[in-house]
């Protein structure tokens, strides 16, 4: 595969970027095959700013796995993981994994010619949560997200929950913390709750809080679905280091896993309906392993390209502070 993309060193030409989304969870993507770009947290938050930047829930840098230390760690056990998804949240912090992001990432690799993938074939990508196998299925992508696990296996109480969650204007509710490579706490709301009425303009308080913080999902089982189709869970999410987003892929997987645990329903397939659209979450026992078979979660959904452009050098090369207002304030002295 040739690196035919425009050079991405900071320069008078600016930095090429692409924008894509998966069920409304949107990302700025930058190709940096050799891992030359130093993208600071401040730079990331400026790019993701919806008023002063391009605007996105996260920034994804596509780096060849061999070109960064976390990528080389993945290559040690997944030698086919040529590309690494370097994922940053909108506030500039690094995240281990992003389910919608992986779909957008693979779609980006294909759209820009950095990778090829025939219908029905799979590509392995590196992430901070390990290698993920992604299969192209029509206009969708299906990711083997690996096994899920309870974040606090010793802590669940009788109702299957392990955490208290508080949102403004509502009584504290109970949740269950699930590790999908990144952290999640899932609250299953009682039937009849109006999901749209939840105030997710500020961060829900979670106690105990998983060590690396948590994404918080609010889930409502849809009892009115067609029995011939996968059961539907309606869900909203408050993402760690971002805020409310239209959709969260790892969150959808954590939600389906938690709802199965909390309800005892053992369905293998679930539709998780989020404000940005539905994804399909499936559970499958790992094949061919000795000992206890672990259960893998599969996430299927779309990814779409939106735009491509150039980050202007005025922004890219700017000092990493808000000089814009600093100048005005200086003049007022």
Ligand X SMILES: N[C@@H](CCC[C@H](N)C(=O)O)C(=O)O
Which residues of this protein are in contact with ligand X, per CB under 6 A?
25, 58, 89, 95, 98-101, 182, 215, 239-242, 245, 248-251
Structural tokens at position 81: 């993981």
d(CA 283, CA 34): 36
- 239 belongs to an annotated ligand binding site: yes
Structural tokens at position 306: 């939106």
Provide the β-strand partners of residue 221.
Answer: 233
Asked about 248 being catalytic, the answer comes back as: yes
SS3 34: coil
- 99 belongs to an annotated ligand binding site: yes
Q: How far is the CB of 5 from ligand X (least distance, A)?
A: 24
Residue with smaller CB distance to ligand X, 10 or 213: 213
Residue with smaller CB distance to ligand X, 162 or 239: 239
- 243 belongs to an annotated ligand binding site: no
Residue with smaller CB distance to ligand X, 46 or 255: 255
- Annotated catalytic residue, options 54, 68, 98, 187: 98
Q: How far is the CB of 328 from ligand X (least distance, A)?
A: 33
- 100 belongs to an annotated ligand binding site: yes
- 322 belongs to an annotated ligand binding site: no
Side-chain half-sphere exposure of 226, counting CA atoms within 13 A: 4
Q: How far is the CB of 1 from ligand X (least distance, A)?
A: 26
- Annotated catalytic residue, options 47, 81, 248, 281: 248
Contact partners, residue 246, CB within 8 Å, separation at least 6: 23, 24, 25, 26, 274, 275, 276, 277
d(CA 151, CA 179): 5
Asked about 48 being catalytic, the answer comes back as: no
Residue with smaller CB distance to ligand X, 182 or 316: 182
Contact partners, residue 147, CB within 8 Å, separation at least 6: 286, 294, 295, 296, 297
Q: How far is the CB of 12 from ligand X (least distance, A)?
A: 33
User: Which residue's structure tokens are 């996260």?
Assistant: 58
**Contact call for residues 38 and 318 (beta carbons, < 8 A):** no
Residues that constitute the known binding site for substrate: 25, 89, 99-100, 182, 215, 239-240, 249-250
Residues that constitute the known binding site: 25, 89, 99-100, 182, 215, 239-240, 249-250
Catalytic residues: 98, 248
């Amino acid at each position: 595969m040739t690196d035919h993309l425009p050079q991405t060193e900071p320069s008078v030409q600016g930095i090429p970027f692409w924008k894509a989304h998966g069920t409304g969870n949107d990302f700025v993507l930058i190709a940096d095959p050799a891992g030359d770009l130093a993208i600071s947290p401040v730079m990331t938050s400026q790019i993701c700013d919806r008023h002063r930047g391009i605007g996105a829930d996260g920034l994804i840098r596509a780096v060849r796995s061999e070109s960064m230390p976390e990528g080389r760690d993945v290559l040690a056990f997944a030698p086919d993981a040529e590309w690494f998804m370097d994922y940053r949240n909108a506030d500039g912090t690094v995240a281990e994994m992003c389910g919608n992001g992986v779909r957008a990432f693979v779609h980006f690799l294909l759209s820009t010619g950095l990778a090829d993938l025939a219908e029905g074939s799979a590509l392995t990508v590196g992430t901070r949560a390990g290698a993920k196998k992604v299969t192209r299925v029509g206009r969708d992508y299906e990711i083997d997200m690996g096994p899920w696990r309870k974040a606090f296996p010793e802590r669940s109480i009788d109702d299957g929950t392990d955490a208290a969650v508080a949102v403004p204007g509502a009584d504290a509710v109970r949740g269950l913390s699930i590790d999908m490579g990144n952290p999640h706490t899932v609250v299953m709301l009682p039937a009849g709750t109006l999901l749209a009425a939840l105030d997710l303009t500020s961060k829900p308080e979670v106690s105990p809080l998983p060590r690396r913080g948590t994404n918080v999902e609010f889930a409502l089982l849809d009892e009115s679905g067609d029995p011939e189709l996968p059961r539907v869970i309606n869900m909203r999410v408050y993402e760690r280091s971002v805020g409310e987003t239209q959709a969260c892929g790892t969150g959808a997987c954590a939600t389906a896993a938690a709802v199965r645990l909390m309800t005892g329903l053992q369905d293998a397939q679930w539709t998780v309906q989020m404000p940005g659209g539905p994804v399909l979450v499936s559970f499958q026992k790992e094949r061919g392993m000795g000992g206890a078979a672990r259960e893998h979660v599969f996430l299927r959904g779309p990814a779409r390209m939106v735009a491509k452009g150039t980050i202007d050098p005025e922004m890219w090369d700017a000092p990493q502070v808000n000089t814009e207002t600093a100048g005005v304030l200086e003049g007022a002295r």
